[in-house]
């Protein structure tokens, strides 16, 4: 009976001896699979990080272009303001020239009247 118990116990030890490497293998496989998942998530996160970096770079580039457009618009605004000032100066010159032109018109009318009066008196010059 002792020999049978010893044989059963020996068999149990053999089974446990087989189970231990199987469990270790299972643990190693689970750890390897988990490592693969972690690496996959790491790659995904790296890709997302790269996409975010590209988006930030795009925003920086758009910001630079918008700044350039803003500067160009500012310069165009200054040009328009200068043109407006030139128009104001031209308007002032026209305002100054307007009365002078009116005076010239009046003098022209006077001259015409004087010439008319002179011609009107021509026949009387030849009278005795």
Domain assignment present for 108: no
The 3 state secondary structure assigned to 79-101 is HHHHHHHHHHHHHHHHHHHHHHH
Residue 8 lies in a domain: yes
Each of the 128 residues of the chain gets a pLDDT tens digit; together they read 778 888 888 888 888 778 888 888 888 889 999 888 889 988 999 999 999 999 999 999 999 999 999 999 999 999 999 999 998 888 888 888 888 888 888 988 888 888 777 766 666 666 66
Domain count of the chain?
Answer: 1
pTM above 0.85, yes or no: no
Flag whether 29 is in a domain: yes
Give me the pLDDT at residue 22, please.
84
Domain enclosing residue 53, as ranges: 1-99
Does residue 124 fall inside a structural domain? no
For residue 48, count CB atoms less than 10 angstroms from its CB and return exposed for 0-12, middle for 13-18, buried for 19 or more. Answer: exposed
What is the per-residue pLDDT for 114? 82
């Amino acid at each position: 009976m002792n020999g049978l118990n010893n044989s059963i116990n020996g068999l149990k030890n053999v089974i446990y001896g087989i189970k231990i490497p199987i469990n270790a293998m299972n643990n190693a496989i689970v750890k390897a699979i988990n490592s693969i998942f972690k690496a996959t998530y790491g790659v995904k996160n790296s890709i997302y990080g790269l996409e975010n970096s590209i988006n930030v770079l795009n925003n920086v580039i758009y910001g630079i272009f918008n700044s350039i457009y803003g500067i160009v618009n500012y310069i165009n605004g200054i040009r328009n303001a200068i043109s407006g000032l030139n128009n104001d100066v031209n308007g002032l010159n026209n305002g100054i020239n307007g009365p002078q032109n009116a005076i010239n018109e009046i003098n022209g009318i006077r001259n015409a009247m004087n010439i008319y009066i002179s011609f009107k008196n021509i026949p009387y010059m030849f009278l005795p």
